[in-house]
């Protein structure tokens, strides 16, 4: 591995107007990162750095023995996504059970039974643990998924995690997670750029997002609708979830950075969906929410068929409260009617409780529910979605 360079960090978006940058450190102790410098970049420049506070650094470029502080925002902007490299030989040897991520790139990957799986193309580390990209596989770099690493022999043993790619034949459902960076075309794997018109943050480029969407689609016969998860979207409702669950599946695009260039949203007819009136740092948690809401409606997923039907929102009311044994607990008794064995009385009590709780907690739902009752004369079946928004 002589002469090999290790990526120690990557420069992020500019911070303020004086040339400071957000910087993601791959060093186990980020405070120690400046001590590994000077850093080289892939285009042969050299930088040292100084933390000004957690995650924010001042960069100094070394040119022919002179030091040039990166002193304005434009200069900082030109450094976004630049990787900071150091010569492998200058780093302390890795300890037992420790690996430099760069040493993993290029290793041959095998399944536990010896089946070749390809080579480690890239190692990703977004701060929540590393993952190995091996062809179309993205594998968390954990002891469970990568039980053997033998750098000297140039090989790793990989147990592909079933949670990430589930074969349709196996489960009737499949989830394929993709990395948008795989659609980038430059060596920095850039997916974003600064916003036209100025302002904070970065915007995902339309060409890259389009290529990533095309790669996620199986071709023109793939009729799955594409949704873009964004706090600017229409709020997700149970009616939308029912429609998605009944359809051919979804292609879900998770926003990061400040947003996505609006032209690709329009050109590809992406449905913009939000999961509520609060802001997440990215669309990924929203994707899990959407996925869970859909999957529980798939045939064979719910235990009792009626539980999906009766639950909150299906009838436009919040659900009544539940009780089980013991009939008395810490001096609190279960409502008598539930112990009466009188099914009609139980149903009436539950209905009255559902209405009371909806009225108290969700005046918006209650108003929509009452409108449904007035317009159709039906009680409880007419209002399909809580906000009436579909």
Say which DSSP state 366 is in: H
Confirm if 132 and 158 have CB atoms less than 8 A apart. Answer: yes
Which range binds ligand 6GU by CB under 6 A, 146-154, 185-193, 277-285, 297-305? Answer: 277-285
What are the structure tokens assigned to 326, written together? 């013991």
Instruction: Please give the full DSSP string across 92-159, using - where no structure is assigned.
Output: PPP-TT---HHHHTT-EEE-TTS-EEEEEEEEEESSS-EEEEETTEEEE-STTT--EEETTTTEEE--
- C-alpha–C-alpha distance, residues 361 and 320, integer Å: 12
Q: Among 274, 314, 358, 385, which residue interacts with ligand 6GU (rule: CB under 6 A)? A: 274
Q: Which residues contact 122 (CB under 8 A, 6 or more apart)?
A: 105, 132, 133
C-beta of 102 vs 254, nearer to ligand 6GU: 254
Q: Specify which residues 21 forms β-bridges with.
A: 14, 57
The count of chain residues that interact with ligand 6GU, using the rule CB under 6 A, is 13
Confirm if 46 and 40 have CB atoms less than 8 A apart. Answer: yes
- C-alpha–C-alpha distance, residues 101 and 127, integer Å: 13
C-beta of 9 vs 255, nearer to ligand 6GU: 255
Interface positions, 191-230, toward ligand 6GU (CB under 6 A): 229-230
Least distance to ligand 6GU, CB of residue 257, Å? 10
Binding characters for ligand 6GU, 240-269, by CB under 6 A (x = yes): ---------------x--------------
C-alpha closest to that of 216 among 258, 187, 244, 174? 174
Q: Among 279, 303, 305, 344, which residue interacts with ligand 6GU (rule: CB under 6 A)? A: 279
Q: Coil, strand or helix: which one is 31? A: helix
Give how far the C-alpha of residue 79 lies from the chain's centroid of Cα atoms, to the nearest Å. 25
Binding characters for ligand 6GU, 282-301, by CB under 6 A (x = yes): xx--x---------------
C-beta of 283 vs 372, nearer to ligand 6GU: 283
Say which DSSP state 30 is in: G
C-beta of 255 vs 386, nearer to ligand 6GU: 255
Which range binds ligand 6GU by CB under 6 A, 113-121, 191-199, 275-283, 375-383? Answer: 275-283
Exposed (0-12), middle (13-18) or buried (19+): which is 168, by Cβ within 10 Å?
Answer: exposed
C-beta of 230 vs 385, nearer to ligand 6GU: 230
C-beta of 20 vs 191, nearer to ligand 6GU: 191
Least distance to ligand 6GU, CB of residue 13, Å? 16
Q: Among 106, 201, 276, 363, which residue interacts with ligand 6GU (rule: CB under 6 A)? A: 276
Decide if residue 239 touches ligand 6GU (CB under 6 A).
Answer: no
C-beta of 276 vs 321, nearer to ligand 6GU: 276
Q: What are phi and psi of 206, to 5 degrees?
A: -65, -35
Least distance to ligand 6GU, CB of residue 201, Å? 12
C-beta of 45 vs 256, nearer to ligand 6GU: 256
Q: Among 2, 66, 97, 278, which residue interacts with ligand 6GU (rule: CB under 6 A)? A: 278
Least distance to ligand 6GU, CB of residue 192, Å? 15
Interface positions, 331-390, toward ligand 6GU (CB under 6 A): none
Confirm if 360 and 367 have CB atoms less than 8 A apart. Answer: no
- C-alpha–C-alpha distance, residues 131 and 121, integer Å: 11
Least distance to ligand 6GU, CB of residue 378, Å? 32
Q: Which residues bind ligand 6GU (CB under 6 A)?
A: 229-231, 255, 274-276, 278-280, 282-283, 286
């Amino acid at each position: 591995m002589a002469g090999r360079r290790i990526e120690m960090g990557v420069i992020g978006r500019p911070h303020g107007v004086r040339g400071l940058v957000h910087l993601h450190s791959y060093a186990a102790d980020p405070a120690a990162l400046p001590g590994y410098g000077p850093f080289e970049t892939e285009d042969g420049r050299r930088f040292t750095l100084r933390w000004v506070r957690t995650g924010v650094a001042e960069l100094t470029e070394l040119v022919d023995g002179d030091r040039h502080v990166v002193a304005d925002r434009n200069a900082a902007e030109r450094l976004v996504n630049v990787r900071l490299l150091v010569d492998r030989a200058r780093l302390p040897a890795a300890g037992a059970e420790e690996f430099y991520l760069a040493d993993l790139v290029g290793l041959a990957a095998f399944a536990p039974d010896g089946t070749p799986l390809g080579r480690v193309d890239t190692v990703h580390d977004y701060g929540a643990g590393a993952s190995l990209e091996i062809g179309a596989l993205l594998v968390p770099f954990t002891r469970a998924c990568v039980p053997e690493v033998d750098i000297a022999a140039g090989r790793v043993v990989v147990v592909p995690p079933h949670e990430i790619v589930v074969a349709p034949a196996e489960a009737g459902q499949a989830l394929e997670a993709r990395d948008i960076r795989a659609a980038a075309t430059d060596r920095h794997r850039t997916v974003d750029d600064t916003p036209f018109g100025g302002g904070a943050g970065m915007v995902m480029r339309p060409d890259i997002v389009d290529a990533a969407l095309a790669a996620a689609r199986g071709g023109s016969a793939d009729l799955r609708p594409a949704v873009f998860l964004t706090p600017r979207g229409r709020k997700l409702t149970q009616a939308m979830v029912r429609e998605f669950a009944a359809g051919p599946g979804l292609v879900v695009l998770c926003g990061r950075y400040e947003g996505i260039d609006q032209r690709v949203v329009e050109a590809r007819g992406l449905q913009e969906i939000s999961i509520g009136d609060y802001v997440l740092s990215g669309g990924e948690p929203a994707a899990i929410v959407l996925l869970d809401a859909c999957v529980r409606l798939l045939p064979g997923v719910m235990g009792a068929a009626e539980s999906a039907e009766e639950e909150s929102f299906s009838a436009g009311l919040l659900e009544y409260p539940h009780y089980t044994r013991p009939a008395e607990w810490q001096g609190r008794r279960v409502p008598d009617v539930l112990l009466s064995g009188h099914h009609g009385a139980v149903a009436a009590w539950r209905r009255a409780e559902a209405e009371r709780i909806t009225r108290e907690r969700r005046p918006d739902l209650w108003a929509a529910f009452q409108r449904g009752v007035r317009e159709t004369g039906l009680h409880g079946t007419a209002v399909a979605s809580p906000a009436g928004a579909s």
